Amino acid sequence: MANSAPGPNTHGGTAQAALNAEADTEYIGLLERSLADIDLPFFVRMAVHIDLASRHRLAAEILYQWGRLHYPLGDNEWADARLDEPFSWQAGLLFFIAGAGLTIYFRTEKERMARKRIAETTKGIGRPKVGGQFELIDQNGQRFTDEDMKGKYALVYFGFTHCPDICPEELDKMAGMIDIVQKTNGNVMRPIFITCDPARDTPAVMKTYLKEFHPALIGLTGTWEQVKSVCKAYRVYFSTPPDVQPGQDYLVDHSIYFYLMDPDGDFVEAIGRNFTVERAARVINEHIGDWRGKLDKE
């Protein structure tokens, strides 16, 4: 099978650096505006207010405020201790724990802000549109459109049931992703398999085939023109002949990517064959964690 490049373009180093700088600026601004909403102790929030730019000063301020809360010395004594007393092993341990915890928290938040900035900056600008309107039939013979994908994240894969090797391997990976995402976030993702071989992949064939991989999988098929239309919308290459006779043997070639769509139906990520199940599930869970809108969990 051919493995063509995914629809979305990648950004160069200069653009990425600019986006990271903007994410840093927005990240600091967010902390300054919304510290009251962060689930941290009061003295930590107060320390962050004192100096966001200095991690050493922040950690020292945490130790000082913690000590004032737990040891009944007068203000003057604590002022002297703040300047002159060396660290005890308890203070050193607290320094390490507080510093590590805050570093992890701030790094995670910074990465989230960077992903959000990239998604907003590139939405409709600098990348081809992936996805769009379509109308197909699911494995139960029911009409299924792009509107039925919305409300949850959707993981879309294109293949065919007569595929001897790659499609079964990728569907096994897809099943693993589904299990990890469900365990972490619940039922917030629709896994969708769209055939590139509608002449042979009827709803009944799809239903029997997909049962071997995962019960949550939704299989979609349709006429050759309908399948061609949805493949074009997702920028998927495929080479199935339009006119075939019953029993005729032929080869099918197609792109090999998972397409992650957000609950609004917008493209957010292309996941290639080089991704392990764990890496792919982590990427999906990160995007789900970034989502601030309503998510259908039914």
231 is in an annotated binding site: no
Evaluate whether 281 touches 180 at the Cβ level (below 8 Å).
Answer: yes
Q: How open is the CA angle 191-206-244, to the nearest 5 degrees?
A: 125
- CA 199/CA 196 separation, integer angstroms: 9
User: Binding site annotation covers 196?
Assistant: no
Any bridge partners for residue 238, and if so which?
A: 254
> Residue 196: which of 255, 238, 246 has the closest Cα?
238
User: Tokens standing for 161?
Assistant: 């049931």
Strands 135-138 and 218-221: antiparallel
Amino acid identity of residue 56, one-letter, is H
**Secondary structure (3-state) at 84:** helix
Binding residues for Cu cation: 163, 167, 254
Binding residues: 163, 167, 254
